[in-house]
Amino acid sequence: MDLTSFPFITPSPTEKLLDFSLGTLWMKRDDLIHPAVSGNKWRKLKGFFREVDPSRPVLTYGGAHSNHLRAAAFALAHAGIKSIGIVRGEELHASSSPTLRYCISMGMRLHFVSRAEYKELRAANWMPSQEQVQPWGAETAQILPEGGAGVHAMEGCGEIWRELDWMPDHLLVASGTGTTVTGILAAMPVGAKTKVHVISAVKGAKIEQATVEACAAQKSINLHWEDEVHFGGFGKIPAQLTPLQTAFNKEHGFAIDPVYNAKVWAYIQRTSFEGSVLWINTGGVFKP
């Protein structure tokens, strides 16, 4: 599929945020790629849309507040492709969240499954059985895994690095599944001098940590996995995080999301850096 008609701003701009005693903090503004599909969501989807068959529907997965579902709903509607979203939580309904309401407004048909069934789908690598797809009307559907994961996502996230015209001393990126940073590492040259700091928004993400650290080791890249600023785990936004986020928004004039990037900001507050620091803002603030 020709991607030139999609209304996305790439390469994303890089802005200077502040100077500190031993260096400078910069931000790559992937949050500006698109108001509804910002940051790494389009990075992950881009390769999929190069290969998609527009004559067949797309079946994808997510939770009630999934940025991926929202992004997929918009992009598929823009491409004129029918979409089906499988949502985790049989107790939910189409109005359970602004995200799900947005997906409905984009023409996505939603089906709600139990958390146990959703877990089985994840274990089956998102390939549903015939008994499952028939009630969903998805017999001919193309599968887009949860979060947009896959080889195509790695390719798209690698563009973050390839868009840079300079090599920072430190690169900071938030992590959920590790897909974004793995794509960046794959694009970096062997022995790159940039130290990569991965700030996990997930508590105890040991499998993801091992995968990312192995990728860095293969490229002889210095990597630090930070697992101490998750603030209780994925999606946890405790009271002590809010003042940090609010202060950033007020000082810099734009918002960072609380699930990922506010935790990066918290990490910056407690860490000493020397040289140039580049923060990859992966987006996540929804502007309807």
Tens of pLDDT, residues 192-238: 999 999 999 888 888 889 999 999 999 999 999 999 788 777 767 77
In a domain, 97, yes or no: yes
In a domain, 51, yes or no: no
Q: Range of 133's domain?
A: 57-140
State the pTM of this model.
Answer: 0.86
Same domain (yes/no): 68, 109:
yes
In a domain, 157, yes or no: yes
In a domain, 43, yes or no: no
Q: Structural domain tally of the chain?
A: 2
Same domain (yes/no): 167, 246:
yes
Same domain (yes/no): 122, 19:
no
Same domain (yes/no): 31, 162:
yes
Q: Which of 140, 171, 201 is the last residue of a domain?
A: 140
Report the candidate in 93, 108, 208, 107 with the shortest Cα–Cα distance to residue 149.
208
End-to-end CA distance of the chain: give it in Å, rounded: 26
pLDDT at 286: 61
Tens of pLDDT, residues 231-247: 777 767 778 888 889 99
Looking at every residue in the chain, the average pLDDT score rounds to: 91
Three-class SS string for 199-254?
Answer: EECCCCCHHHHHHHHHHHHHCCCCEEEECCCCCCCCCCCCCCHHHHHHHHHHHHCC
Q: Which of 91, 114, 140 is the last residue of a domain?
A: 140
Q: Which of 81-90, 165-174, 233-242, 278-287 has the lowest mean pLDDT?
A: 233-242
Same domain (yes/no): 168, 188:
yes
In a domain, 99, yes or no: yes
Tens of pLDDT, residues 8-40: 889 999 999 999 989 999 999 999 998 878 788
In a domain, 207, yes or no: yes
In a domain, 8, yes or no: no
CATH of the domain at 22: 3.40.50.1100
In a domain, 288, yes or no: no
Same domain (yes/no): 82, 22:
no
